[in-house]
Amino acid sequence: MIRAGKGTAGARWRARAPIALIVAGCVAVVGIAVGGAAKPLPGLDLVQTGHWIYNSALGKAFHIDGSGKRADAEVSVPGADKDSQVVQGPTQGYVVGPSKNIEFGKSTLSVEGSHPAPAAERPVTLEVRGGPYAVYREAGTVSRFGDRAVTVKAGGPLGTPVATPDGRLWLHRLDTGLLCELAPGSERLSCPFVIPQGHKGSLTVVGDAAMFVDTTDDTARTVAVTGLGDLVKLGVEVPETAVAASNDVEGKVAILDPQGARLHLVDAGPQAKTAPVTVGLPPGDYAGVAASRTAVAVVDRTSKTLRTFDRDGRERDRKPIPGEGGRPPVRGQDSKVYVDGVDGAHVLVVEHDGAVNEVPVTGAPDPAKDPKPVAPPPQNPPDTRGPVTPPQPPPAPSGKPDRPVAPQTTKPPPVAASPPGAPRSVTATPGNASATVRWNAAAANGAAVTGYRVTWSGGERTVGGGARTASITGLANGASYVFTVAAINRAGTGPGASSAPVTPAVPKPPSAPGNVAAQPQGNGGALITWTPATANGSPITGYRIYWCPDSEGINQPHDPPDCGEATVPASARQYVADFLLVGTELRFYVEATSAAGNGPAGDDPTTPKGRPDIEVTQRNGMVRLVARTITESANWNATLPVVVTGPGGFRKELTIKLTGQHNTGTDLLRYPGAKGDEVTVTLQPKVYSEISKTITWK
């Protein structure tokens, strides 16, 4: 391994062993529900519009119409934590606080449940397809709300999470450098990659792909379940404390340097067409950065100011933040940026063009949260004056017709509650003498759902009103079962909805993946592809890829650098292996994994291609050399001779020692020349022809 530190652009990323197996035991499914809304608001099953905010003084959550720039709905949320935030899904909203999470229906505008928070901290919330999510960074815990509610423990503290448009959540383990993803509907993390040891940075999303911005060596590269993208230099030096916005602004990554009071806008695409732009900011305490489609927003807590810029660094708007200041900016699923006031009394909405609008959050206080004493009526003495003639209406003015009197109206009585509707989308998944039954919420019909009754031939089970799943055990393998789910409220039990028949059975390991193929790719890499294996009764949880020289056979020890292995999620259909033994035929094996075990492997051979290389840069008056070889020797600790020459007869010979699994080495050489000198570095491999690179001294 090369040394960690600024400018270590040669530091190598690594694919990981099956991390999903490590974190799988930390998963706990929790009963956070999609409540009993009669039907979702139009269009909310695709993209959530607007933004919700909790006003602690009023005890209410308000919906902000980002287009109409007003609060257009409110719901009373008694008992919510003062420091709560609100996140929304298709049919439900969730008031998320340090001690509890309160669920309400977006169509009923009423509270439908409350659950303890998994950690006593203010989480980062994300509104994405398949969510929403709350990520408790310090505790290393992820909560997903809605139909497939789940709480996943990542095993350590996390950086700021991001989500790609397909609903895939990406996380950075700060203590280990692991990059993990949580697929939509999945109940476990997969951590296929690890950043170089000692490096720091943050995740972002550019287009449809997640990207890790490495602030240690000022580089970026995309990460996906199918593999890593090419390493791209940022073109600007940023400190390790810099943070990237969670989304790009028209293809550029916005990177905030809070200590240096600078905003960098970097084209981090594989073929960058524009130079980085750096915007100087006034000294202040900057609380984060967020990007809409075409603008980026930063909040200065010192001056209580929100500033917005376009992709070229031009300031678009500047607005003071009323009250006690603002929270860090967040991006909604409608791609607008929202800045909540600390007191919940206002929201600043950043439009797509960077214009800022203030929306006041007002309403009547919630009597249930702050009841006021009511004075009793005065006790008047009895009237002893005898009968009193009731007052008569005054006569109509002379010469003018009487005005018609509007009839008095009374508020209609509340509609009586009725039993709930039928649960939606009831499904059953068979297991070994067991089955897992899932459903979506039933309509409450005027009274909160308090439970769900699951019945089948030979038994029944009742779960809480917040549950959306039930695990049924003690079934007979080989027998067919139909599961019926009915909702319960104080008015009675509603109609049932049934699953399709399922047959429990002893699961078998998956079949071998089909059409396994391997071919050389890049310098010392190989692309392995396959078609899905058959699950055989137990869901496939991932694929294991491993390789060795073809002469060693499948049962030989898998020791690097000759052999290696990696694990990818069940959705993957290809994998790129790098830093392979070049010039030697390797055989690649792919096998599917499930709870029933590993299936047989499919395999295919290929011979990776490549050659030595060297990278030359100037930094702080030094010539910095990064050399690597994956061809000279299968042994670790190889060496490469290097010659550095310059004007005036300058010549320096040195040997770079290559260490670590990937045979990479770094060295620094002080050059005493002048600006404009042409400095040439020549790599002299033993087998290949010389490789020369020249830089102009600055």
* pLDDT tens per residue across span 291-348: 887 889 898 888 888 899 998 889 989 888 877 666 776 777 677 888 887 777 778 8
> For residue 132, is the peptide bond before it cis, meaning its omega torsion is within 30 degrees of 0?
yes
pLDDT at 30: 35
Alpha helices in 245-401 (DSSP H): none
Instruction: Give the integer Cα–Cα distance in Å for 456 and 678.
Output: 82
Residues with Cβ within 8 Å of residue 1, at least 6 apart in sequence:
11, 12, 196, 197, 659, 660, 662, 664
Chain-centroid distance of CA 323 in Å reads: 31
| 425: region left, alpha or beta (phi > 0 left; psi from -120 to 50 alpha) | left
Chain-centroid distance of CA 114 in Å reads: 24
Cβ–Cβ < 8 Å for 60, 74: yes
Q: What is the pTM of this model?
A: 0.52
> Quick check: helix, strand or coil at residue 322?
coil
Residue 647 is classified by DSSP as G
Place of tokens 């006790």: 379
pLDDT at 611: 67
> For residue 165, is the peptide bond before it cis, meaning its omega torsion is within 30 degrees of 0?
no
Residues with Cβ within 8 Å of residue 395, at least 6 apart in sequence:
none
Residues with Cβ within 8 Å of residue 298, at least 6 apart in sequence:
256, 263, 281, 286, 288, 289, 306, 307, 308, 309, 329
Cβ–Cβ < 8 Å for 123, 138: no
What amino acid is encoded at 221 in this protein?
R
Instruction: Give the integer Cα–Cα distance in Å for 79 and 92.
Output: 18
Q: Which of 129, 179, 134 is nearest to 156 (CA)?
A: 179
Instruction: Using the CB atoms, write b or e for 181-199: b if 16+ within 10 Å.
Output: bbbbebbbbbbbbbbbeeb
Q: Which two tokens stand for residue 595?
A: 């709870």
Cβ–Cβ < 8 Å for 444, 105: yes
If residue 210 lies in a helix (H) or strand (E), which one and from where to where? Answer: strand 209-214
Cβ–Cβ < 8 Å for 579, 651: no
Q: Which regions of the chain are under pLDDT 50? A: 1-5, 7-10, 17-46, 365-391, 393-407, 409, 412, 556-558, 631-637, 661
Listed in order, strand segments (DSSP E) in 60-166 are: 60-65, 70-76, 85-88, 92-96, 100-105, 110-116, 124-126, 133-136, 141-144, 150-153, 162-163
Instruction: Give the integer Cα–Cα distance in Å for 137 and 123.
Output: 7
Instruction: Give the integer Cα–Cα distance in Å for 71 and 65.
Output: 6
pLDDT at 554: 53
Instruction: Give the integer Cα–Cα distance in Å for 614 and 314.
Output: 39
pLDDT at 41: 38
pLDDT at 34: 32
Chain-centroid distance of CA 227 in Å reads: 18
CA angle 444, 449, 451 (to 5 degrees): 145
CA distances from 478 to 262, 431, 470, 484, 540 (A): 66, 11, 20, 19, 21
CA atoms within a 13 Å half-sphere pointing along the CA-CB vector of 221: 20
Instruction: Give the integer Cα–Cα distance in Å for 546 and 588.
Output: 6
Provide the pairing of β-strand 639-646 with 178-182: unpaired
Q: Which two tokens stand for residue 559?
A: 């020791």
**β-strand partners of 114:** 102
Cβ–Cβ < 8 Å for 530, 602: yes
Q: Which two tokens stand for residue 662?
A: 């990937």
Q: Which of 549, 542, 531, 535 is nearest to 507 (CA)?
A: 535
The phi, psi pair for 22, rounded to 5°, reads: -75, -45
If residue 23 lies in a helix (H) or strand (E), which one and from where to where? Answer: helix 19-23
> What size, in residues, is the chain?
698
What sign has the CA pseudo-torsion 318, 324, 325, 327? negative
Reduced 3-state DSSP string for 449-482: CCEEEEEECCEEEEEECCCCEEEEECCCCCCCEC
Residue 649 is classified by DSSP as G
**β-strand partners of 115:** 101
Instruction: Give the integer Cα–Cα distance in Å for 248 and 335.
Output: 11
